Amino acid sequence: MAGVRLDRVRKVYGAVVALEELNLEIEEGEFLTLLGPSGCGKTTTLRLIAGFVEPTSGTILLGEEDVTGLPPQHREIGMVFQDYALFPHLTIRDNIGFGLKERGAGKAEIEARVQQLLELVQLPGVEERYPSELSGGQAQRIAVARAVAFPPRVLLMDEPLGALDLKLRESMQIELRRIQKELKITTVFVTHDQTEAMNMSDRIVVMNGGLIEQVGSAEEIYNSPKSKFVADFVGQINLIEGDVVLTRDGFATLKVAQDAAIRAPVANGDARGTLAVAVRPEHLRIVDSAETADSDNRLDGRVVGTIFSGNLRKVFIDIGMEKPLVLEDRPQNVALQDGAAVRVAWSPSDGILLDN
């Protein structure tokens, strides 16, 4: 097992810059997720680590070893893809044992390892079956067992749960994380699903247009996004644009729509010019004028839509900005009618000030 380091790694395909200079360190035993929209460079990063593509410039290290020019078969890396890629004409035993056999392991050794791995992925007894006789979730567990059989220095997974339905996906997230923890294997996982990234990762790398936008734990990325892109991509968020008119006691006051003044914490030092205040839907409340604390931010608006999803309610409120505000709370006894006038409030400390 080893950590991974990408040092000023750049990848250009003809006129397309797939990756700008990327610097990234993945710790030994860490579960790191590359998250971002289609085309942001996630798969390219994974393929560079695996050795399927060579960087245009820069260095890739596995542990202490510079593997930049090393072909994939010599990197000792395990891979899991979305489409399982199991060998259809081989039994599950032979699929899992394939890499071990290639490396000259004996029959008894392979059998013992196959049994051990079937226990690990909680599918004992399927060794005689063929891949077509497994469900999608089972096939993906076998793909993981095969990837870790020899065992690799690093495990790479490219959208491994992409083909599964939502419920199965969630249970497989827990399952994959359990296996990863048990093996303590350095893992790089690719997804465009932010919930999946948050559920599984020690750290998340949010990518956009071949660049890293932010690296951090799920909490850091969700609670302290560093850019409008991250704030908007990871979870839902309201972005309220305004001009800074005052900065005092660690808070900036901004003039926003309706000529209202709202306050937000200033992260480091000064805030000036046109900025955006980001606030999560769950931090907004619908209030009576009487119950609003003086220090709260307040905006008046009209309800333009409501979504009821069982345990939660989403309310869309037009406050005269391009997009309505989104508020999320527990469903109330009294339904809100479209067109109803409401006052929205939130604590200034729940706002995040971001460059516009």
Give the residues lining the site for ligand ATP (CB under 6 A): 13, 16, 18, 36, 38-44, 192
- What is the C-alpha to C-alpha distance for residues 301 and 53, in angstroms, rounded to an integer? 53
> Which residue, 210 or 242, is less far from ligand ATP as judged by CB?
210
CB 163, min distance to ligand ATP, A: 14
Inter-residue contact 346 to 268 (CB < 8 Å): no
Q: Please give the backbone phi and psi of residue 306, each rounded to the nearest 5 degrees, phi first.
A: -140, 140
Strand-pair category, 31-35 with 203-208: parallel
155 contacts 4 by C-beta, under 8 angstroms: no
**Judged by CB, which is closer to ligand ATP: 44, or 297?**
44
Give the nearest distance from C-beta 332 to ligand ATP in angstroms: 39
CB nearer ligand ATP, residue 44 or residue 180: 44
Instruction: Name the residue type at position 267.
Output: A
Number of Cβ within 10 Å of residue 175's Cβ equals 18
CA 142-104-111 angle, 5° bins: 45
**Of 13 and 308, which CB lies nearer to ligand ATP in the complex structure?**
13
β-bridge mates for residue 274, sequence order: 243
One-letter-per-residue 3-state SS of 103-129: CCCCHHHHHHHHHHHHHHCCCCCCCCC
In the complex, minimum distance from the CB of residue 93 to ligand ATP, in angstroms, rounded to a whole number: 32
Residue 58 C-beta: closest distance to ligand ATP, Å: 15
Answer whether 335's CB lies under 8 Å from 255's CB. Answer: no
CB nearer to ligand ATP: give 38 or 337: 38
Residue 71, preceding peptide bond in cis (omega within 30° of 0): no
Q: In the complex, what is the shortest distance from the CB of residue 44 to ligand ATP, in angstroms, rounded to a whole number? A: 3
CB of 208 to ligand ATP, least distance (A): 9
Nearer to ligand ATP, 41 or 131 (CB): 41
- Nearest distance, CB of residue 83 and ligand ATP, angstroms: 13
CA dihedral 217, 223, 227, 231 (to 10 degrees): 100
